[in-house]
Structure 1
Amino acid sequence: MRELSIIFLLALSSLTFGQQGKSVLILKDSSRINGIGKISGISSIVSVKFKNDTLKYRTYKSKEIVGINILENNYYRKFRYKYIDGEKYPEIVEIVSIDSLSLYVRIYEGSVLSNSFSNEPIPIIGNEPVQTIELDNGQKISVGQRPRNSFIIVNIPRYSYYVGIGESEQIEHLYTKGLPFAKGFKKSMKKYFKNCHSLIEKVENKEFSNDKLWEVLDYYNQNCLNSQRE
């Protein structure tokens, strides 16, 4: 078992991800700087590099910044430093949705991050506040004002989802796909949402899928917040 653990850790350390482009750097004092940003690194050793008209690329640490927004397909992808499962040092994850219980994703692969997920805004549901944006094809749609991305799977190898209360710096692991020894989708949902019986029933009936996990969070936030998790 120890040998397997060592192999698993070595495999994780070789996983890389990267993303770059027109960006907004968000500092700890909530100020924002426009420029060109880059996220790169190996596994949890990730760096955020940024430049504008006044400086060359500079590497920023988590103690200096909250995160970075990177423009892709006329829509900003939002990356934030978060503490995962109480770890001492924060790691970069991407916002999928911000709500009472928020959802984040992290992809592990050996090429550019945008080659894995094609992001697009999620259309509004119900009576939530809206804003209108224009897509690359000229189409105008109304989307929620909350940061929400829909991710269309394009040959995804490995990724992990995390959840956290509101915009808290602390998040928890929810589900991982494609990594050795990872729990299956159903088992992960049953473990985390065990006191939300209607949600578990929908998981059992395959009304939710692992490639649209934001639908699970939407359902939980709308229907299960009064259920007390142990």
Structure 2
Amino acid sequence: MKFRTIFSLFLLTIISSYGQNNWKYGELILRNNDTLKGFIQIPMINRAAIANSQKIKFKENQGGKTIRYDYTSAQKLIFKGYDGEISLFEYIRTSQSKVQLFKRIYTGNKIRLYGRMVSEVFTGQDVNGNMTSTGFYPTDYNEYYVIRKYERTATPLIKVGPFTKSFRKSAMKYFSDCPDLVTKLKNRTLSESDLPRIVKEYDQCK
């Protein structure tokens, strides 16, 4: 048990080091509706770690004090790109016991699509028995959840890691109330790479 605890901290350190320079200027909206403007760091999720922090790091300026916020105090994040594009991140419930941070990819009349980047760190030992680590760090969003407006918990359609369910089967089950869309998924007219289009078609399904 002691080894697992030390090893878990080792993995978390790797992930923390990877993301330590990824500070972006943006707005942090708290649950009391206060808005904080400053530099924000989004937590990186490591699928191989025993535990992952879901806390947002915030500081007013580059040399300022770092303050951490979780879903009990933070509501959402807003980043504005150089081209004027706005990125919205918010906490959503993924199970009865988990509330996690995602980027909102698509907002429809009856459904929303969320995505996030998840890393995988593979570990082992060298010939001397020392712990080694090989990291896979994504460059784009690779895990996606959907949630209908009346639902309290989001459903995964694409997940990272072992024992993940087939996207096609998961999508056909979730979108089963839209026969035309199910047919396109069944005959592979639409696939995993078409996810934003799939969600949009479902939103327009009657």
Report the TM-score when normalising by structure 2: 0.69
| Structure 1 or 2: more helix by fraction | 2
What is the aligned counterpart of 1:35 among 31, 34, 38? 38
The residue number in structure 2 matching 1:212 is: 194
Tell me by how many angstroms 1:178 deviates. 4.3
Give the partner amino acid of 1:45. S
* Aligned partners of 2:146 and 2:157 also within 8 Å: no
Deviation (angstroms), 1:111: 7.1
Aligned to 1:79: 89
Helix, strand or coil: the match of 2:193? coil
What does residue 187 of structure 1 align with?
169
User: 2:26·2:40 contact (CA, 8 Å) conserved in 1?
Assistant: yes
Report matched runs for 1:2-151 at 5 Å: 16=15, 18=19, 19-43=22-46, 44-53=52-61, 55-74=64-83, 75-86=85-96, 88-99=97-108, 100-109=110-119, 115-117=139-141
Does structure 2 conserve the Cα–Cα contact (< 8 Å) formed by 1:174 and 1:192?
no
Partner of 2:90, secondary structure, is strand
Q: Give me the identity figure in percent.
A: 23
Separation in structure 2 between the aligned mates of residue 72 and residue 51 of structure 1, nearest angstrom: 19
CA deviation string 1:155-201 (max 9, x = no partner): xxxx3221123397x33223124421212221111111123211111
Cα distance in 1 for residues equivalent to 2:167 and 2:149: 23
Name the residue aligned to 2:181: 199
Secondary structure of the equivalent of 1:188?
helix
Distance 2:73 2:43 in 1: 17
Structure with a larger share of its residues in strand: 1
Aligned-partner residue type, residue 32 of structure 1: T
- 8 A contact 2:44–2:117 mirrored in 1: no
Indicate the RMSD between aligned Cα atoms, in angstroms: 2.9
Counterpart Cα distance in 1 of 2:105 and 2:150: 12
The structure 2 residue matched to 1:161, chosen from 144, 158, 173, is 144
What residue ranges of structure 1 are gaps of 5+ in the alignment?
Answer: 1-9, 118-158, 225-230
Per the alignment, do residues 41 and 167 of structure 1 end up closer, same or farther by CA in structure 2, a change over 3 Å counting? farther
Distance 2:196 2:174 in 1: 15
SS of match in other structure, 1:212: helix
**C-alpha contact 1:82 1:90 (8 A) present in aligned 2:** yes
Contact conserved, 1:160 with 1:176, CA < 8 A, in 2? yes
Separation in structure 2 between the aligned mates of residue 184 and residue 73 of structure 1, nearest angstrom: 37
Q: How far is 1:64 from its partner?
A: 0.9
Partner-residue secondary structure (3-state), 1:202: helix
In the alignment, which residue of structure 1 is the partner of 2:130?
A: none
Moved more, 185-194 or 44-53: 44-53
CA distance in 2, matches of 1:36, 1:111: 26
Q: Deviation digits for residues 141-166 of structure 1, max 9, x if unmatched? A: xxxxxxxxxxxxxxxxxx32211233
Contact 1:104/1:162 (8 A) holds in 2: yes
Q: Tell me, which stretches of 5 or more residues in structure 2 are unaligned?
A: 1-7, 47-51, 120-134
- Aligned-pair CA distance for 1:92: 0.9
